Amino acid sequence: MSSATHTFDADTVRAQFPILHQTVRGGKPLVYLDNAATTQKPLAVIDAISGYYRNDNSNVHRAVHTLAERATVAYDDARRSVQRFVGANDEREIVFTSGTTGGINLVAASWGRTFLGPDSEVIVSEIEHHSNIVPWQIVCKQTGATLRVAPVLDDGSLDLAALKRLITDKTALVALVHASNALGSINPIERVIEMAHAHGAKVLIDGAQAIPHLPVDVASLDVDFYSFSGHKVYGPTGIGVLYGKLDLLSAMPPFQGGGDMIDRVSFEGTTFAEPPARFEAGTPHIAGAIGLAAALDWVDAIGRQNIARYEDDLLQYGTALLQNIDGLRIIGTAEHKVGVLSFVVDGAHSQDIGTLLDMEGVAIRTGHHCAEPAMKRFGVPATARASLAVYNTREDLDRLADALRVVIRMLR
């Protein structure tokens, strides 16, 4: 993990993102505040992907010609970059996936079908993304396991006391979000892991919303599985990572069959490769892995502690601005949050808010954010959500607040 402690200049950071320097809706400068959905890409990532396709495009692990050798080296180096970024002990613990969703489904389909049974319980929370609910519903139905739900408090933070009561010797897995995409709440996963391991349960963490904002060291956490997406952390779409402890991955069967995941194939039977190849059937997203590695190197060059401090300052500033707008209520007020400002406005539909903000050049997200149970918990059908990244500024938040006042006047 990076130990960078230098400060950075937001204007210098913004200059590296070509997409931010445009006008929309009749000449209004773009304010992009939809980062929890996907982040924009710096030139370092764009150039890495373009460079691969311009110079090295070839399949990996397949041939001995020059392009194949260069592509294979770049792809394998990308895995080592991810290993360093998340603090894994072994590069074999890094499985490339299509994203957070792909990683969670891999664990559900492979580990879940193998190790869950009628006497097993899986615990999730009320504020999970659908990607960390539906796969467990499916595998619990298939195996006879029971799905249990840990509640959250009124501020959106995890009810640790209730979770502690839910975890028993029947608990096989606790699957929780690290940081909520709908509310921004940061879960105390260190404590959760300790509680689960005390009963022999495994822990899977959905790290999609934490990995761009917070330092993560999987070995120090002693987490069993950790899944995240490249496009949330300034990398390309369609690429993600599942970290799994090597002994767990080695005990899991493949969940897809095809090329590169085998040891030997015959019509009498097939033996499978060791992790991570066992879980990477077919041609991988080579350019995606290379672009992801470039994104992680870019983040480390800034310093994750620096990013966390800067974004927390933005969050506090934005929270104060929105709290001063009449009729607006923030949903999710936990003490520890990543840069998510989810809110409702009296008498206004979230989609109308998003549409009218777009006319002012401000891009946010509206709806249930693939977290319908979380919306139900807080008694709202949907929210408007502004989410922050390292290239955002206080001026962006000023534009959001000013535009909201205009929108609210229009809706009333």
Q: Are residues 294 and 226 in the same domain?
A: yes
The CATH number of residue 246's host domain is 3.40.640.10
- Is residue 195 in a domain? yes
Kindly state whether residues 95 and 203 are assigned to the same domain.
yes
The pLDDT of residue 2 is above 80: no
Report the alpha-carbon distance of residue 148 to residue 3 in Å, rounded: 39
146 and 245 fall within a common domain: yes
Residue that is last in its domain, among 239, 270, 300: 300
Domain shared by 310 and 294, yes or no: no
Can you give the pLDDT at residue 62?
Answer: 79
246/295 Cα distance (integer angstroms): 25
- Under the banding of pLDDT at 50, 70 and 90, the label for residue 10 is confident
Counting residues of the chain whose pLDDT is more than 90, the rounded percentage is 93
- Do 262 and 387 share a domain, yes or no? no
| 282 and 333 both lie in a single domain | no
CB 243 within 8 A of CB 84: no
Model confidence, pTM: 0.96
Mean pLDDT of 50-76: 95
What's residue 411's pLDDT?
A: 87
- To the nearest 10 degrees (0 to 180), the angle between helices 286-302 and 304-323 is 80
Same domain membership, residue 228 and residue 106: yes
CATH code of residue 321: 3.90.1150.10
109 and 150 co-located in one domain: yes
Tell me if 248 sits within 8 A of 222, measured CB to CB. Answer: no
> Can you state the percent helix, strand and coil of the chain, rounding each to 5?
45, 20, 40
Give 277-315 pLDDT, tens digit per residue: 999 999 999 999 999 999 999 999 999 999 999 999 999
Domain ends where: 266, 300, 334?
Answer: 300
The HSE-up count of residue 360 (CA atoms within 13 Å, CB side) is: 23
For residue 40, is it within any domain? no
Residue 332 clears pLDDT 50, i.e. is over it: yes
Where do we find the tokens 């000013």?
Answer: 402
**Is residue 243 included in any domain, yes or no?**
yes
User: Does residue 181 lie within any of the structural domains?
Assistant: yes
**How far, in Å, CA of 6 to CA of 214, rounded?**
16
Residue 283 is assigned to a structural domain of this protein: yes
* pLDDT number for residue 304: 95
Mean pLDDT computed over 136-163: 98
Domain enclosing residue 389, as ranges: 10-32+303-411
Give the least confident one: 59-63, 115-119, 125-129, 330-334.
Answer: 59-63
Q: Give the pLDDT of residue 43.
A: 98
Please check the confidence at residue 375 and state whether its pLDDT lies above 80: yes
38 found inside a domain: no
Shared domain check, 339 and 274: no
The pLDDT of residue 4:
43
Instruction: Judge whether residue 3 has pLDDT over 70.
Output: no
Q: Which listed residue (160, 262, 370, 411) is catalytic?
A: 370
Dihedral sign of CA atoms 365, 373, 235, 257 in order = negative
Split at pLDDT 50, 70, 90, the class of 7 is low
Q: Which of 300, 322, 347 is the last residue of a domain?
A: 300
What is the average pLDDT value for the chain, to the nearest integer? 96
The predicted pLDDT at position 8 comes to: 67
Q: Are 24 and 103 members of one domain? A: no
Concatenating the DSSP letter of every residue in 51-78 gives: HIIIII---SSS--SHHHHHHHHHHHHH
The confidence score (pLDDT) of residue 260 equals 86
Q: Is residue 120 included in any domain, yes or no?
A: yes
138 and 58 in one domain? Answer: yes
Give the C-alpha separation, 110 to 117, whole Å.
13
Tell me, yes or no, if 370 is annotated catalytic.
Answer: yes
Taking only the tens place, the pLDDT of each residue in 265-286 is: 889 999 898 999 999 999 999 9
Query: pLDDT higher for 111 or 2?
Result: 111
Report yes or no: 82 and 266 within 8 Å, Cβ to Cβ. Answer: no
Counting the structural domains of the chain, the total is 2
Residue 41 lies in a domain: no
Pair 163, 268 in one domain:
yes
Pairwise CA distance, residues 42 & 105, whole Å = 29
